Amino acid sequence: MEFTTRGLWTMLHGMGFGGLYLLAFTGALVELYRTRLGDSLQADSDNSEFLRKYLAGMAVLAWLAVLSGAYIVYPWYRAAAPAGTANLAAFPQALLQSSPSTAQWHLLGMEWKEYVAWIAPISCTMAAAVASGYGESLRSFPPLRAAVRNFVVISFFAAALAGLTGAMLNKHAPVEGGRTVQVLRGSTQ
């Protein structure tokens, strides 16, 4: 069982940072909803402290996902194939664009994903900053709390869209190459 370094970075970007961000979303939504019920549930400072740290963690994950995607994985994806290259496996964008049946994955999928994904860290950083700055008093500002919740929801959809298209792109033209890392070695049957 082996991985290439490019494959490992792609997994870390998508399934690591991006996947964890998407998994964390429901937790954030529940915590934001609890701030709405704060008065009746006697929410204490521990709750707002948890929300502050939770959103800050999500923002870090979102930034790691877009930065690793843009500056580590994407250059491998868009690398230009030398003229006359017959095997385009190491050049995912060129591989997708070489066939009419896969070209739209790049034109629609990647061209949307590469930009819409950045809405997630911007929105989540805002949510984390507001939660951090206001703490328990956020529940005293219902429209502000609603904005934080709605931006977190939009950031989830932006990240989910990027994650879904990223997974489909990697299925049709995986980013692979570089040094091979062998994890397990078995015997052939």
Query: Looking at the DSSP assignment, which residues form a beta bridge with residue 54?
Result: none
Residue among 74, 62, 69, 51 nearest 157 (CA): 62
Q: Does 78 interact with other proteins (rule: CB under 8 A)?
A: yes
Using the rule CB under 8 A, which residue among 37, 89, 108, 181 binds other proteins? 108
Query: Looking at the DSSP assignment, which residues form a beta bridge with residue 4?
Result: 180
Write the single-letter amino acid at 62: A
Cα dihedral sign for 116, 75, 7, 17?
A: negative
Q: Does 143 interact with other proteins (rule: CB under 8 A)?
A: yes
Q: Does 90 interact with other proteins (rule: CB under 8 A)?
A: no
| Identity of the residue, 47 or 165, whose beta carbon is nearer to other proteins in the bound complex | 165
Q: Does 97 interact with other proteins (rule: CB under 8 A)?
A: no
**Cα separation, 31 vs 82, whole angstroms:** 51
Q: How far is the CB of 183 from other proteins (least distance, A)?
A: 28
The DSSP letter of residue 178 is S
Q: Does 134 interact with other proteins (rule: CB under 8 A)?
A: yes
Q: Which two three-digit tokens encode residue 179?
A: 């040094």
Using the rule CB under 8 A, which residue among 2, 89, 112, 164 binds other proteins? 112
Using the rule CB under 8 A, which residue among 92, 151, 170, 173 binds other proteins? 151
Give me the DSSP letters along 14-56. IIIIIHHHHHHHHHHHHHHHHHHTHHHHT--HHHHHHHHHHHH
Span near other proteins by CB under 8 A; candidates 7-15, 43-51, 112-120, 172-180: 112-120
Using the rule CB under 8 A, which residue among 29, 56, 79, 90 binds other proteins? 79
Say if strands 2-4 and 180-182 run parallel, antiparallel, or are unpaired: antiparallel
Using the rule CB under 8 A, which residue among 33, 85, 111, 164 binds other proteins? 111
Q: What are phi and psi of 173, to 5 degrees?
A: -150, 80
Q: Does 158 interact with other proteins (rule: CB under 8 A)?
A: yes
**Cα separation, 110 vs 105, whole angstroms:** 7
User: Which residues of this protein are in contact with other proteins, per CB under 8 A?
Assistant: 66, 70-71, 74-75, 78-79, 107-108, 111-112, 114-116, 118-119, 122-123, 125-126, 129-130, 133-134, 137-138, 140-141, 143-144, 146-148, 150-151, 154, 158
